[in-house]
């Protein structure tokens, strides 16, 4: 039997995998989602979401994927790791991501670029579709790849951009973009994800255990435990999830039913949270 089943839940509540089922709609993440949806609906072009490691950026990406899949007029594509050694390899990755087929033996890089342009015009103008490309870990991109994206953002009608590009990355993405003047000028939305405050940490913990099947009427984390969790994680969602996961496992091992301040302090003293 899994530890969470022993505690009365049917799913693991604090997995660090970016499961949109456990997406806690904090004010920060909700604001980011709403702003991105507005930019995409208006077809403004480029949105940039920034945040430190562990602020929930990848989970936000998966939530966007879920939301856009529900919209018939939106075609959503995602690149999770944009690390490519050359411009050619990045363009080939875009071709594959968009589901296009080109004969490498008969096509050169100019053919690829033209095919991408044709694809965007066909989808955006002829079929009246909104093409959204989300790139996670965007700070890994080099200047050549960013230049390719700048080229794609040039494709537009008199009324809207043909590609809605969402770049999600760590803080070092910002200076990379700023080094490309013609690129930074195209940013329609820039939003920064910050760590949670203590109330958001409490809400996140309760939200996730209830999503996992724990009764709302019962208590699993004491208030002083939550204060200690916040103190030791600084409100970073990933760190909160890791520490809470270890705390629940400790409950099962020690045959307790409530996570207390002392349990959290014991875990931290053993350097369980890294």
Same domain, 257 and 237: yes
Angstrom distances, CA of residue 179 to CA of 13, 43, 51, 141, 173? 41, 25, 19, 13, 10
Asked whether residue 18 is domain-assigned, the answer is no
Asked if 20 and 56 count as a contact pair (C-beta separation under 8 A), the reply is no
Q: Which domain holds residue 85?
A: 27-193
Same domain, 173 and 83: yes
What CATH number did the domain enclosing 86 receive?
3.40.50.300
Same domain, 215 and 79: no
Domain count, the chain: 2
pLDDT of residue 273: 46
Same domain, 38 and 50: yes
Same domain, 94 and 226: no
pLDDT of residue 48: 95
74's enclosing H/E stretch is strand 74-79
Same domain, 138 and 248: no
Asked whether residue 9 is domain-assigned, the answer is no
pLDDT of residue 109: 84
pLDDT of residue 156: 92
Same domain, 48 and 131: yes
Same domain, 124 and 60: yes
- Among 244, 225, 273, which residue's Cα sits nearest to residue 7? 244
pLDDT of residue 186: 87
Asked if 211 and 70 count as a contact pair (C-beta separation under 8 A), the reply is no
Same domain, 117 and 50: yes
Exposure string of 117-142, with b = 16+ CB inside 10 Å and e = fewer, is eebbeebbeeeebbbbbbbbbbbbbe
Asked whether residue 123 is domain-assigned, the answer is yes
Asked whether residue 15 is domain-assigned, the answer is no
**Residue that terminates a domain, selected from 193, 222, 242:** 193
Asked if 171 and 50 count as a contact pair (C-beta separation under 8 A), the reply is yes
pLDDT tens, N- to C-terminus, the chain (274 residues)? 687 888 888 999 998 777 778 888 888 888 999 999 999 999 999 999 999 998 888 888 888 888 888 788 999 999 999 999 899 999 999 999 999 887 766 678 888 899 999 999 999 999 999 999 999 999 999 999 999 999 999 999 989 999 999 999 999 998 888 888 788 888 999 999 999 999 999 999 999 999 999 998 899 999 999 999 999 999 999 999 999 999 999 998 998 889 999 999 999 987 644 4
pLDDT of residue 271: 67
Asked whether residue 252 is domain-assigned, the answer is yes
210's tokens = 């209830």
């Amino acid at each position: 039997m899994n530890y969470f089943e022993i505690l009365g839940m049917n799913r693991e509540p604090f997995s660090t995998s970016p499961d949109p089922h456990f997406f806690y709609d904090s004010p920060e993440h909700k604001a980011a989602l709403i702003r991105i949806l507005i930019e995409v609906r208006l077809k403004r072009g480029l949105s940039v979401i920034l945040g430190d490691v562990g602020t929930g950026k990848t989970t936000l990406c998966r939530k966007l994927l879920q939301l856009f899949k529900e919209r018939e007029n939106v075609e959503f594509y995602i690149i999770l790791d944009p690390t490519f050694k050359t411009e050619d390899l990045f363009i080939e990755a875009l071709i594959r991501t968009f589901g296009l087929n080109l004969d490498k033996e008969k096509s050169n890089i100019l053919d690829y670029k033209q095919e991408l342009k044709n694809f965007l015009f066909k989808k955006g103008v002829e079929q009246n579709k909104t093409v959204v490309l989300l790139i996670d870990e965007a700070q890994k991109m080099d200047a050549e790849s960013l230049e390719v994206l700048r080229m794609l953002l040039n494709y537009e009608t008199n009324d809207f951009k043909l590609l809605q590009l969402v770049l999600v990355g760590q803080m070092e993405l910002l200076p990379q973009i700023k080094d490309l003047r013609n690129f930074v000028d195209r940013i329609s939305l820039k939003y920064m994800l910050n760590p949670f405050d203590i109330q958001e940490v409490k809400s996140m913990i309760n939200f996730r255990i209830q999503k996992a099947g724990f009764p709302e009427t019962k208590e699993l984390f004491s208030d002083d435990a939550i204060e200690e969790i916040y103190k030791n994680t600084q409100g970073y969602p990933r760190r909160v999830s890791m520490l809470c996961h270890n705390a629940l496992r400790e409950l099962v091992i020690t045959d307790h039913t409530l996570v207390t301040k002392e349990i959290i302090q014991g875990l931290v003293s053993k350097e369980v949270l890294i």
